[in-house]
């Protein structure tokens, strides 16, 4: 199985320092600071990258579940909101909109719940405890 890598460089103290986070496979590099993580400053932050990871993983897992059930999706759009309070990531909310023609609401909800519980990133983030999925079938 593949091993994926990311890199972070930090210079200075927590509040006055700054750094960059890199995703080498795609050439992404973004700055991050105390303000971009705990306030509303410019730049990225670890929680935003965690959000991207779970949104992407969940969407792919759900796509597979829907297709396997005979309802291949036309589109899945997932936005993750990652909340950090007092130094703890204590909630992730996934807002998902799905277009999968022909699927009934009961089967849809079953696949949504299964994907939430079983996508690899959800499993890795089990310590968060509160992962909520708001899924809408178009």
Average pLDDT, the chain: 94
Q: Considering the chain, what percentage of its residues have pLDDT values greater than 90?
A: 88
* pLDDT at residue 2 is higher than 90: no
**Calculated CA dihedral for residues 63, 114, 117, 78, nearest 10 degrees:** 40
The structural architecture, per CATH, of the domain 46-137 is: 2-Layer Sandwich (3.30)
Q: Return the pLDDT at 129.
A: 79
Residue ranges per domain, the chain? 7-38, 46-137
* Residue range 100-123, pLDDT digits in tens: 999 999 999 999 999 999 999 999
Strand arrangement, sheet containing 75-85? 75-85, 88-99, 131-137
């Amino acid at each position: 199985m593949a091993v994926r890598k990311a890199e972070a460089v930090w210079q200075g103290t927590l509040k006055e320092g700054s750094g960059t986070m890199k995703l080498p496979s795609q050439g992404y590099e973004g700055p991050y600071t105390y303000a971009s993580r705990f306030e509303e400053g410019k730049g990225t932050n670890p929680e935003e990258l965690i959000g991207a990871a779970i949104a992407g993983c969940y969407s792919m897992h759900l796509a597979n579940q829907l297709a396997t059930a005979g309802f291949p999706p036309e589109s899945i759009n997932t936005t993750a909101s990652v909340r950090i309070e007092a130094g703890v990531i204590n909630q992730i909310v996934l807002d998902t909109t799905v277009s999968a023609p022909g699927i009934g609401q009961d089967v849809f909800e079953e696949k949504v719940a299964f994907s939430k519980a079983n996508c690899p990133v959800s499993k890795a983030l089990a310590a968060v405890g509160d992962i909520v999925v708001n899924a809408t079938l178009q």
